[in-house]
Amino acid sequence: MTDVLFGYPAKEPAHAGRPTKVHPGKRVTMVHTLTPAADLGTDVEDVARLVSATGERMRDADLDPWVADVDTAQLQGLYRDMVLVRRMDAECMALQRQGQLGLWAPLNGQEAVQVGSARPLREDDFTFPTYREAGVNYVRGAEPAQYMRAWRGEAHSSYNPYDLGSAIQQIIIGAQALHAVGYAMGIQRDGTDQVATVYFGDGASSQGDVNEAMIFAASFDAPVVFICSNNHYAISEPVGVAAKSPIAGRAPGFGIPSMRVDGNDVLAMMAATRWAIARARQGHGPSFIEAVTYRMGPHTTSDDPTRYRTQDEVEAWRRRDPIARVEGLLRAQDAFDDDFTAGVQADADALAADIRTACLGMTTAPAISILDNVYAEPHAGIDEERRWFGAYLDGFADAPAAGTQEQAS
């Protein structure tokens, strides 16, 4: 008969849980303690963290080794990334409010999750973002127009995925988790040491697809990193609807080691992702990161969050701002002078201006183009519809701009 023990697996010497020593094989680990919380809204301290909300560097034996090389210059880089991402997000919000975009899903508050988890990727890695991961695409090298061509309604994807190493932003909640696992299976078959990463939300963790993705990833030891951006809400539903205990606690059950990380701590996010990516590159299979963060803005520009949450709650999270704490850290290192901030500010302004220009300069494709790319090879049905539609459009030949490019309004 077995002992009656909590925990899974049986208790082990503490060091065995350190990320650097996580055994690649069958061992299932949860690297950080999880206390099932009565209220997931208040569990934000139960995370791995390297920088406090006030900007002090904290020690974490698991994470520290993964950011030992991060010097002041790199920290400044992360700061700059986040400021630019926030500015990009704000500009797109503004463009939407001005009627230039149909919709925007703001990421304000989640800059650290996105920058911290995307920076560790190599150019030849591949990521699978959701609608909210514009900050990830910033890191992947997006051109200005590539942030919002789709949100403007000009096309379904803002960019060619192979240009950025980033799949098209997924709107069907959770579907991309399986794509990432399949892509990672492809990497295995090619025998390279690339990795795939995938983003999804706390709400998404309820979808069958996300769970199946973990099962497939574990079954095939796929080199994939699951990044759950727990921003505390699925539109109006607090994370407590989706999970009675921390989401990071699910992965070990599927045989996937996981970490629960302060998602507003860019350094911790970078460390955790490096840990997970290293495991994947070395052939040790999938890992899972729950990034505990907060969506400061509305779900999308269509949403009114005052209907379901208090200003107090939002303010509490403002005090955990991901950018401010890096500022604190940099100040402590005397690396936050006017030169630096002015440079960052100028870059941010330039990015915003470029985005605006790109957006306003967009042209709408001709009507007949809606029949393009339905199939990759010739298709009798589409060919016929093209003839019909062409003949129809020709009937308007004298009408202005029919069948030709329209200038954006």
Partner 1 sequence: MTEMTMGKALNEGLRQAMRDDDHVLVMGEDIGRLGGVFRITDGLLDEFGKLRVVDTPLAESGIVGTAVGLAYRGYRPVVEIQFDGFVYPAFDQIVSQVAKLHYRSQGAVKMPITIRIPWAGGVGAAEHHSESPEAYFVHTAGLRVVAVSNPQDAYTMLRQAIACDDPVIFFEPKKLYHVKGDVQLGTALDDAAPMGLARIARSGTDVTLLTYGSQVATALDAATAAEDEGVSIEVIDLRSLSPVDYRTVTASVRKTGRVVVTHEAAREAGLGAELIASVTERCFNFLESAPVRVTGWDIPYPPAKLEKHHVPDLDRILDAVDRVLDKPNSFTGVEL
Ligand X SMILES: Cc1ncc(C[n+]2csc(CCOP(=O)(O)OP(=O)(O)O)c2C)c(N)n1
Q: For residues 49-88, which are near a second copy according to CB under 8 A? A: 49, 58-62
> By CB neighbour count within 10 A (0-12 exposed, 13-18 middle, 19+ buried), where does 384 fall?
exposed
Interface residue with Mg ion, options 60, 202, 262, 290 (CB under 5 A):
202
Report the helix count and the strand count for the chain, using DSSP H and E. Answer: 12, 9
Cα-flanking dihedrals φ and ψ of residue 203, to 5°? -60, -40
Indicate whether 160 belongs to the interface with partner 1 (CB under 8 A). yes
Identity (one letter) of the amino acid at 223? P
3-state class (DSSP) for residue 196: strand
Identity (one letter) of the amino acid at 395? G
Indicate whether 231 belongs to the interface with Mg ion (CB under 5 A). yes
Using CB distances below 5 to 8 A depending on partner kind, what does residue 37 bind out of ligand X, Mg ion, a second copy, none? a second copy
Cα→Cα distances 387→305, 341, 376, 390, 399, Å: 48, 57, 18, 5, 19
The reply to whether 156 belongs to the active site is: no
Please, are residues 157 and 169 in contact by the beta-carbon 8 Å criterion? yes
The reply to whether 295 belongs to the active site is: yes
Tell me whether residue 157 or residue 333 sits nearer to partner 1 (CB atom). Answer: 157
DSSP string, 120-154: TS-TT-EEE-BTTTHHHHHHTT--GGGGTTTTTTS
Please, are residues 76 and 348 in contact by the beta-carbon 8 Å criterion? no
Please, are residues 194 and 201 in contact by the beta-carbon 8 Å criterion? no
Tell me whether residue 89 or residue 202 sits nearer to ligand X (CB atom). Answer: 202
Out of 80, 299, 320, 325, which one is annotated catalytic?
Answer: 299
CA 268, chain centre distance (Å): 15
Tell me whether residue 38 or residue 171 sits nearer to partner 1 (CB atom). Answer: 171
Tell me whether residue 32 or residue 149 sits nearer to a second copy (CB atom). Answer: 32
Size of the site for partner 1 (CB under 8 A): 85
Out of 140, 295, 320, 325, which one is annotated catalytic?
Answer: 295
Indicate whether 203 belongs to the interface with ligand X (CB under 6 A). yes
Cβ count within 10 A of residue 22: 21
Out of 23, 97, 308, 379, which one is annotated catalytic?
Answer: 308
> Per the omega criterion (within 30 degrees of 0), is the bond before 9 cis?
yes
Question: Closest approach of Cβ 211 to partner 1, in Å?
Answer: 9
Using CB distances below 5 to 8 A depending on partner kind, what does residue 286 bind out of a second copy, ligand X, Mg ion, none? none
The reply to whether 309 belongs to the active site is: no
Interface residue with ligand X, options 201, 252, 257, 286 (CB under 6 A):
201
Q: Which of 46-54, 106-114, 234-242, 329-337 is the region at the interface with partner 1 (rule: CB under 8 A)?
A: 234-242
List residues binding a second copy (CB under 8 A).
Answer: 1-12, 14-18, 25-38, 46-49, 58-62, 205-209, 211-212, 215, 218-219, 241-245, 249-255
Q: What residues act catalytically?
A: 295, 299, 308
List residues binding ligand X (CB under 6 A).
Answer: 132, 171-173, 200-204, 229, 231, 233-235, 295, 299
